[in-house]
């Protein structure tokens, strides 16, 4: 297989799976057919793992936010919000998890 980004041939084990553009959080159904190489993941600017989703597949960096050190998907962005934002987010999470409404 070939790296989608640099077109180099890569071994099966060195291929990194990628989520479709616009993916909010890790979802195996959103993994696209092509792969990129680890080198492009590490040194390129187009793809990165969400720090909290793990390394199943990489996101397009346009779908991620960075805190300056790590990347997070839209779903996990909540983990890096400041306290005020986190509080309202927690309220919302409590609301949608509440079976009584």
CB atoms near residue 54 (< 10 Å)? 9
Name residue, tokens 């696209």: 32
Comparison of 7 and 101: residue with beta carbon closer to Zn ion: 7
Among 16, 35, 37, 64, binds Zn ion (CB under 5 A): 37
Distance CA 60, CA 22 (A): 8
The continuous run of DSSP H or E covering 71 comes out as strand 71-73
Interacting residues with Zn ion between 49 and 68 (CB under 5 A): 50, 52-53
Q: Does 35 bind Zn ion (CB under 5 A)?
A: no
Number of residues that bind Zn ion (CB under 5 A): 10
Residues that bind Zn ion (CB under 5 A): 3, 5-6, 37, 40, 50, 52-53, 73, 76
């Amino acid at each position: 297989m070939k790296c989608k980004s640099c077109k180099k041939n890569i071994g099966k084990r060195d291929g990194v799976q990628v989520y479709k553009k616009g993916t909010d959080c890790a979802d195996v159904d959103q993994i696209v057919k092509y792969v990129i190489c680890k080198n492009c993941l590490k040194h390129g600017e187009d793809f990165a793992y969400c720090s909290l989703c793990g390394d199943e597949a990489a996101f397009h960096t346009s779908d991620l936010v960075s805190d300056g050190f790590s990347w997070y998907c839209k779903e996990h962005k909540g983990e890096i919000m400041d306290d005020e934002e986190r509080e309202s987010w927690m309220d919302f999470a409590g609301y949608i998890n509440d079976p009584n409404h």
